[in-house]
A and B are shown apart, each in its own frame.
Chain A
Amino acid sequence: MRLAIAVLAAAAVLVPAAAAALTAPELAKVVREIDARQRNQGDWKALCYMEQKEKGKTDVVYELLVFRRDADDKQMFLFTKPKSEAGKGYLRIEKNLWLYDPATGRWERRTERERIGGTNTRRGDLDESRLVEEYDARWEADEKLGVYEVHRILLTAKPGVDVAFPVVRIWVDRATLNVLKRQELALSGRLMRTVYQPRWRRIFSESKKADVWYPEEIRIYDEIEKQNSTIILVKEIDLRSLDANLFTKAWLESRSR
Chain B
Amino acid sequence: MIPSSDPPSAKTEPAWWFIFTAHKLMVVEEGVSISIPLIVDPASLGLLPFRERYLGTLAGRHCYCAEVAENDPFPSKMVLYGLRYLYGRLSKPLYAIAMKAMHLMEWEGTTRYCGRCGKEMATAEDMSARKCSGCGMMAFPRISPAVIVLVERDGQVLLARGQRFTANFYSVLAGFVEPGETLEDTIHREIEEEVGIKVKNVRYFGSQPWPFPDSLMIGFTAEYLSGEIKIDKTEIIEAGWFDPGKLPTVPGKISIARRLIDWFVETRLQEKTQVETYVGRSYDPSE
> Are the chains A and B members of one assembly?
no
Q: Which residues of B contact A (CB under 8 A)?
A: none
State the A residues within 8 Å of B (CB).
none
